[in-house]
Amino acid sequence: MNPRTEKILVILVFTVCLALRLAFITQKNLWFDEVFSWHLSLDSFYEIIVRTSNDIHPPLFYFTLKIWNFVFGDSVAAMRLLSSLFTSSSVFFLYSISKRYLEPSKAMLVILLYSVSPLNLYYGQEVRMAAMNLFLNIGSVYFLLKLMDKPHDYHRIFMEKYAVPFILFSVAAIYTHYFSFFILAAELLYIIYTYRRISKQYIAYLYLLLSIGVVYLIWVPELISHFSRGQSWRSPQTLSLVMHEYVNYIRDLNLGLYYYYSNLEIVKYITYFAAIVLVISLAGVLFRKNAGKDSPKLILLVLFVPLILAGLISFKQRIEFYRYLSILVPYISFFVVYGLTKWNNKYFTTAIIAVMVAINIYGINIHYSFGFKNDDYRSLITKINTEFKPLDRIYVEPHFNGWVINYYRKQENLQLPNPVYVRYGWNEVLDSISTQNPNRFWVVLDYSAVDTSQYHNYIDNLKKTYRMNERTTYYLAPTKVELYNFSK
């Protein structure tokens, strides 16, 4: 393949990748996590640091989103475009990495398989840090490989062309999401293995890693606080549940997150096929010799270290693999193609990859077929806006789901009040009703909250003081939402 054709094909795949992520980008509602990102981006940079220190994620994505929204606006399309660009731009890093170990034509198959990944498509259309984290981590891997192409004097390691980009991408990644430490751990293992007998080189890279740690020192107290606090709603998992999560991850990789609404019999057979392909690829990696190219040890470490660590962590707190391990999609795409090519049968390899691409396209079709995510309040908001009267109030439990209403209120310029409160809890809602003393008000109870056992009591107590005019139930993923209208 000549260089000009190669560039054209890579750009073509990038274009396809981006087009798939831009298609129907506003079709689905902003769900709570996306609205949370938007809500946090409204704060100052200092307030974002304070808020994230009390949350569970580092602040860099929210900084980036704040700047992005300032320049391009905070519409659904504008905010999701940021993630689309991150996932699509990763094609260039992935192709360069793949070409180290595969012929250009096979490397092209890697980025094609990546581009049609329905799981990657999902996170390429979400206002969260997964896409940015994927981009930063694959950039870190790319620059480390470039840096390790030749030996370096440890006295001048920071003067090398790829040293600073490696540091910047690595630091940015761990300031974006804590799972980036898994990638950093894999890189450390690779450095130790590669330079186990060359102490000067080992010292040079140790300096690089220490510099990353120094830049991160300011966030270490928050890191420790987040890890020690954890997330109370995440329960420990048994071995069978962890293994089930791995199986689900195989489905999610190939079909995305909407296959539950499709033909589950087809899904079952696709899962079997995808698992068999992974086994064949693994066998190729383990038992077939390399033919001329270097062994992709770093890529394999970057894939398997997070997979193993995520499983181990799950025994303490459940992890959604489809979300937190979505950063592994590029390496899995490489692993499948690389493992299949090790069998040295181009017809077999091409046929299997063609089927995998077809399965992924089927998953994309499922993804496009459904126009909702969790917390799709759009119909509820439409009803309130249609029947809204001046001086009406809106109260939401849990209060943070009111941010969803507030987002659409601002975007569509609706004449609704902001239903957001300062603190958690139903008592805050009651205090607000008592203080504001509205003649008429709306109550939204979201059953996706952690504790909903007292919801019926909340309404019964309100009915003792106010007249309930109407009750509407919306069966929205993941559970349901009840909308009440009360008046004096």
pLDDT, one tens digit per residue, over 268-314 is 999 999 999 999 999 999 987 765 567 899 999 999 999 999 999 99
Calculate what percentage of the chain has a pLDDT beyond 70. Answer: 98
pLDDT at 366 over 70: yes
Tell me what the pLDDT averaged over the chain comes to. 93
pTM given for the model: 0.95
Nearest to 481 by CA among 452, 440, 438: 452
- Band (128; pLDDT cuts 50, 70, 90): very high
pLDDT for position 226: 86
Cβ-based neighbours of 115, under 8 Å, separated by 6 or more = 13, 14, 16, 17, 20, 88, 91
Q: Which amino acid is at 146?
A: K
**Where does residue 24 fall: left (phi above 0), alpha (psi -120 to 50 degrees), or beta otherwise?**
left
Coil vs helix vs strand at 290: coil
In this predicted structure, which of 101-115, 153-167, 240-254 has the lowest mean pLDDT?
Answer: 153-167
Contact 395, 443 (CB under 8 A): yes
The CATH number given to 378-487 is 3.40.190
- Band (419; pLDDT cuts 50, 70, 90): confident
What does DSSP say about strands 440-446 and 393-397: parallel, antiparallel, or unpaired? parallel
* Encoded tokens for 7: 């560039």
Span 402-426, mean pLDDT? 85
pLDDT for position 91: 99
Q: Taking the domains of the chain in order of start, what are their residue ranges?
A: 378-487
pLDDT at 336 over 70: yes
Span 323-344, mean pLDDT? 96
pLDDT for position 228: 81
pLDDT per position as a tens digit, 193-209: 998 877 778 888 889 99
Q: Which amino acid is at 462?
A: L
pLDDT per position as a tens digit, 91-113: 999 999 999 999 999 999 999 99
pLDDT at 257 over 70: yes
pLDDT for position 420: 62
Cβ-based neighbours of 34, under 8 Å, separated by 6 or more = 79, 126, 127, 128, 373
pLDDT at 322 over 80: yes
pLDDT for position 36: 95
pLDDT for position 475: 94
Q: Of 484 and 232, which is predicted with more confidence?
A: 484
Calculate what percentage of the chain has a pLDDT beyond 90. Answer: 80
What is each CA distance from 232 to 228, 239, 240, 344, in whole angstroms?
11, 20, 22, 50
Nearest to 443 by CA among 479, 419, 418, 413: 419
pLDDT for position 198: 77
- Band (423; pLDDT cuts 50, 70, 90): low
pLDDT for position 156: 84
* Encoded tokens for 422: 């300062």
pLDDT at 155 over 80: no
Nearest to 127 by CA among 79, 70, 56, 179: 79
Span 358-364, mean pLDDT? 98
- Band (325; pLDDT cuts 50, 70, 90): very high
pLDDT per position as a tens digit, 20-63: 999 999 999 999 999 999 999 999 999 999 999 888 899 999 99
